[in-house]
């Protein structure tokens, strides 16, 4: 998560954009690729252990997680999962929902300082997190993101790059669009709400007795959206990013949509 000592759903959208675009004059989308179904890559024991522990905690805390659209999730490797971001709880709840529906692991970026913490950093890496250096181009993070997709895991990112303090969708960073266009990966839009009540910004611990909603949209390729945008490289990225946010907004209740309503 952006600025948080835990796995985050897209802390480095800006860093990915800068790292991946050095020397480029256009998004240069690859030919669209729809990967054939393949068995999911094996997950780590830590991934299973943490997910199991969280499910127990949710039950003990009487937290209900309602998932809609799981039938739309493709049985294919190398997907970018793009979601809004309201809480520290978002990445792990998305990871659990995806694994239950598809057997696949979603990997998220985490800030480098968190990965360097003894014990916690090891747990974070074993779960699937990988480090990104905040605030400057990080070509290693970009390389690792594309490697996650190439290996068949899913990559979880938040186009906004940080948690929303108001609950409404904010402005997207171009990193998700750039990565999707460069890699040719499919994108699955996802929306969460209720996590801002489960684990509010500024609170040390989550609250019991809440209801969380997760809704998945249909997978799509960004290349057609970018190709239809006339003008510069930035125009194509802006069009693809804006289209993604509107897809996420369509999955959310009206009050969360912000300017994308």
pLDDT (tens digit, 9 = 90+) per residue, 92-110? 999 999 999 999 999 988 7
Domain ranges across the chain: 13-22+41-260
Instruction: Report the pLDDT value the prediction gives residue 210, as an integer from 0 to 100.
Output: 98
Q: Give the C-alpha distances (Å, rounded to integers) separating 148 from 47, 78, 84, 106, 239.
A: 16, 7, 21, 9, 25
Whether residue 260 is predicted with pLDDT greater than 90 in this model: the reply is yes
Instruction: List, for residues 189-217, the tens digit of each pLDDT value.
Output: 999 999 999 999 889 999 999 999 999 99
Continuous segment of H or E residues that includes residue 245: helix 233-251
**Mean pLDDT over residues 211-231, rounded?**
90
Torsion of Cα atoms, 147 then 81 then 2 then 198, to 10°: -140
Distance between CA atoms of 215 and 50, rounded to whole angstroms?
Answer: 22
Instruction: Report the pLDDT value the prediction gives residue 144, as an integer from 0 to 100.
Output: 86
Mean pLDDT for all residues in the chain:
85
Residue recorded with tokens 């006339």: 230
Whether residue 172 is predicted with pLDDT greater than 80 in this model: the reply is yes
- Residue 228: half-sphere exposure toward Cβ, Cα within 13 Å: 8
More confident residue, 119 or 231: 119
| Phi (first) and psi of residue 159, to 5 degrees | -55, -30
Distance between CA atoms of 159 and 90, rounded to whole angstroms?
Answer: 14
Instruction: Report the pLDDT value the prediction gives residue 226, as an integer from 0 to 100.
Output: 84
**Mean pLDDT over residues 120-134, rounded?**
83
Whether residue 26 is predicted with pLDDT greater than 50 in this model: the reply is no
Closest alpha carbon to 75 in 47, 99, 92: 99
Closest alpha carbon to 155 in 105, 221, 191, 121: 105
Whether residue 17 is predicted with pLDDT greater than 70 in this model: the reply is no
Do 187 and 66 form a contact (C-beta atoms < 8 A)?
no
Residue 59, class by beta-carbon neighbours within 10 Å (0-12 exposed, 13-18 middle, 19+ buried)?
exposed
Kindly state which CATH superfamily the domain 13-22+41-260 is placed in: Glycerol-3-phosphate (1)-acyltransferase (3.40.1130.10)
Whether residue 230 is predicted with pLDDT greater than 90 in this model: the reply is no
């Amino acid at each position: 998560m952006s600025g948080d000592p835990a796995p985050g759903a897209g802390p480095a959208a800006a860093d990915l954009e800068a790292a991946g675009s050095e020397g480029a004059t256009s998004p240069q989308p690859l030919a669209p690729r729809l990967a054939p179904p393949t068995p999911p890559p094996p997950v780590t024991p830590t991934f299973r252990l943490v997910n199991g522990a969280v499910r127990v905690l949710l039950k003990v805390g009487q937290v209900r997680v309602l998932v809609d659209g799981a039938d739309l999730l493709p049985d294919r490797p190398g997907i970018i999962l793009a979601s809004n971001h309201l809480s520290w709880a978002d990445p792990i709840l998305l990871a659990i929902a995806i694994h239950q529906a598809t057997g696949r692991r979603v990997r998220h970026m985490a800030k480098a300082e968190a990965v360097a913490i003894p014990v916690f950093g090891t747990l974070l890496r074993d779960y699937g997190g990988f480090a990104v250096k905040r605030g400057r181009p990080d070509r290693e993070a970009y390389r690792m993101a594309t490697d996650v997709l190439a290996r068949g895991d899913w990559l979880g990112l938040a186009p906004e790059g940080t948690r929303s303090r108001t609950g409404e969708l904010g402005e997207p960073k171009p990193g998700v669009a750039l990565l999707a266009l460069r890699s040719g990966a499919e994108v699955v839009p996802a929306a969460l709400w209720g996590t801002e009540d489960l684990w509010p910004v500024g609170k040390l611990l989550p609250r019991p007795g809440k209801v969380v909603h997760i809704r998945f949209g249909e997978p799509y390729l960004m290349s057609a959206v970018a190709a239809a945008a006339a003008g510069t490289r930035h125009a194509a990225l802006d069009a693809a990013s804006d289209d993604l946010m509107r897809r996420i907004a369509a999955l959310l209740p009206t009050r969360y949509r912000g300017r994308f309503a």
